[in-house]
Structures are given as C-alpha cells and as structure tokens.
Amino acid sequence: MTSWQEVRAEVRRRILSREWAPGEPIPNEADLARELGCARGTVNRALRSLAEAGLIDRRRKAGTRVALHPVRKATLSIPVVRLEIEERGFIPGYRLISRAREAPPAAVRALMGDGPLLHIVSLHLADGAPFMAEDRWVDERAVPGIGTADLKAVSANEWLVLNVPFSHGEIAFTAAPAGCFEAQTLDCAHGTALFVVERTTSADGRTLTTVRQTFAPGYRIETTL
C-alpha cells in the first residue's frame, strides 16, 4: 500500500462498501498514512483525487467526510470541429456562407457592446453531408487579424483557436427547433429538433467572440462518468 492510486482505491472501497457511510467523517490524513503505511503526502494526493471526483468533501479543521450526494462529473472535451469530425470517422469539409460587418442583434449587443462586429456564417461537413451550422460574431477590435484572415480556407473556428488565446469561456447546451436557415443549410425539415451549443469566449475582461453552433439531426455528445 504505497502508491496514491492504491490508497485511493482502498478509500473508495471503504466508501462504496458503506464501511464509511455518507455524511460520516473519515480519519485524518496523518492517521490514514500511519494505518496504510505511507507518507501523508501520498494520502493527500489520493484524497484530493477523490474530492475532485466528488466522492468526499474536505474542509480544513472540519476534516474529511463522505459526500452526502456523490456528484457525478462528466468531462467533455471540446476540440476544433474539424478534429471532432475526423474522430467520428468522417472526412471533414467546410464552406463559408457569409461574412459581413454588421450591426448585431440586441442579444449579441448585450454581450459584446455596440461596436461594429464581424458576422461569420459557415457550414461544416462530414463526408460531404451537413454536420454543423455556425453563426458567429467577432469583435474586430479585440481580435486583430480576423479582418484579413482567409476564412474560405480555414474555418473561423480553427483560425480563432490557433490565433487567439483566450482566458475564459462559457458554454451552454440546449435543444432548439430548426428555423428557416437551419432547415436549409442542414437539409432538414423546418422545426426538426436540433442540438445547439452556444459559446462565448473572452480575454482580459473583453468578449472576443460568441457563437451558436447548430448540429445536424442525430448528433449526440457522449462521455463517461
């Protein structure tokens, strides 16, 4: 019993077997280290891992307790769309639909201010079939270079990932019916239930870009718990 993975496994076993019941405190790090025959640092590493997984709650002085409601955490990797398409075994494609300097609608203006924004609409393909339609607004002042980027060759999605480091972002997942635009670009019936991802990224407190990605029917995100 020397590795932190072994310590974690043993503690997890005691929790799952109800030897240590939900809500109950477990021994402190020093005691556990003595019992299991390892350094306190090793126990700390193991317990930190379990705390991140949501299986235990830790607080200084109060000690460590088995979580009352073990919170499952699902981690989603959000790669560049092109890579996601390749990972699913398709040949990726891309088409720029429009690109214009426009006054944004109210919802976008609330996020990104009144300045003129670049509005980029594009379509990503998998094996030639529509995969995802992207409607994006970019703050030209916050993202120098986007004005001259060749968005016919490289998608805005990819250009931004490669050229604009960001510090913070928000992402949301919803379902929405296909509107006229989606029905046409994604080749589906008006009103079809589609999976939607909305993302906003910012740096230094400024919103760089906000995007709404609508996926073709049947799209699903999968991961393990």
- Binding to DNA (CB under 7 A) within 43-82 occurs at 44-45, 47-48, 51, 58-64
Which partner from the list its own copies, DNA, none does 64 bind, CB cut-off 5 to 8 Å by kind?
A: DNA
Nearer to DNA, 7 or 142 (CB): 7
Residue 42 and residue 7 in contact, taking contact as beta carbons nearer than 8 Å: yes
Cβ-based burial of 134 (10 A; exposed 0-12, middle 13-18, buried ≥19): buried
Cβ atoms of 13 and 50 within 8 Å: the answer is no
In whole angstroms, the minimum distance from the beta carbon of 54 to DNA comes to 14
Nearest to 55 by CA among 72, 32, 42, 33: 72
Give the one residue of 100, 110, 175, 180 binding its own copies; rule: CB under 8 A: 175
Closest Cα partner for 207 from 121, 120, 113, 128?
113
Contacts with DNA in 7-36 (CB under 7 A)? 28-30
Nearer to DNA, 58 or 82 (CB): 58
Picked from DNA, its own copies, none, the partner binding residue 90 (CB below 5 to 8 A depending on kind) is none
Residue 42 near its own copies by CB under 8 A? no
CA distance linking residue 136 with residue 121, whole number of Å = 6
Contact 136, 81 (CB under 8 A): no
Count of residues making up the chain: 225
148 binds, among DNA, its own copies, none (CB under 5 to 8 A by kind): none
How many Å apart are CA 50 and CA 73, to the nearest integer?
Answer: 12
Within 31-50, the residues that bind DNA by CB under 7 A are 37-42, 44-45, 47-48
Which of 148, 136, 134, 152 has the alpha carbon at shortest distance from 194? 134
Report, in Å, the least distance between residue 98 CB and its own copies. Answer: 25
Residue 3 interacting partner from DNA, its own copies, none (CB closer than 5 to 8 Å by kind): DNA
Q: Which positions lie near DNA, rule CB under 7 A? A: 2-6, 28-30, 37-42, 44-45, 47-48, 51, 58-64
